[in-house]
Amino acid sequence: MRLAKNRIIRESLLLLIGVLAISFIFNFARKDGISLLADAEEFRVQTNAEFVGVEDVYELFADGRAIFIDARASEVYALGHIEGAINAPPGSPELAGLAWLADGDTYVICYASEKSQRQAGVAADKIIEMGCEKVFLIMGGFEAWGEQGFPVDRTVDTTEE
């Protein structure tokens, strides 16, 4: 076995230079290109939906006056979600298929995990765009719901060994 170190270094550097050039040129030429340096503000949850406390959300749940949208990935949803929640991550066909929500007068509660609330924000904004007015996010996300011991469903059995 003969490992041509110099050749690997040369090829890797040339590749890196080429990729840096292509990626920067493409990013600056496109309309939806992003800035090279991001600050923390860019990643905060920016949404037109309002956050509400988990107790208030539970009241809507208990009265059957809300539809719940789980914006997390399907694998995470399967491990546990708010009872009756619809799984519709941003960009999914399930979310696009929720236009019927605009016909009703129910509350729509979007949620994700606490650390990926922006995902819920993106889903909520999409639903607002569809024409829904009563769209809200859960303060503290799914974790806040679980910590209160409110009803949770699973589509996979995690108790099996």
Partner 1 sequence: MNGRLREILSNKWLILAIRLILGVTFIWASLDKIANPGGFALSIYNYRMLPHETINFSAIVMPWLELVTGILIIAGIFMRGSAFWIGLMLLVFIIALSSALARGLDIDCGCFSVDGGHGVDTGLLIRDILMFFGALVVIFFGTSALTLRVAFWRSAD
**Residue 132 annotated as catalytic:** no
CA torsion sign, 99 to 100 to 105 to 107?
negative
Strand partners, 110: 69, 137
Q: In whole angstroms, how close is the CB of 65 to partner 1 at the nearest point? A: 26
Distance (Å, rounded) from C-alpha 130 to C-alpha 151?
28
H-helix segments, the chain: 5-29, 54-62, 74-79, 93-96, 117-129, 141-147
CB 57 within 8 A of CB 131: no
Q: In whole angstroms, how close is the CB of 94 to partner 1 at the nearest point? A: 10
Q: Which is nearer to partner 1, 19 or 62 (CB)?
A: 19
Binding site for partner 1 (CB under 8 A): 1, 3-4, 7-8, 10-12, 14-16, 18-20, 22-24, 26-27, 32-40, 42-43, 71-76, 79, 89-92, 113, 115-116, 118-119
Q: Which of 49, 85, 110, 123 is an active site residue?
A: 110
Q: Which is nearer to partner 1, 16 or 99 (CB)?
A: 16
Q: In whole angstroms, how close is the CB of 10 to partner 1 at the nearest point? A: 7
Q: Which residues are catalytic?
A: 110
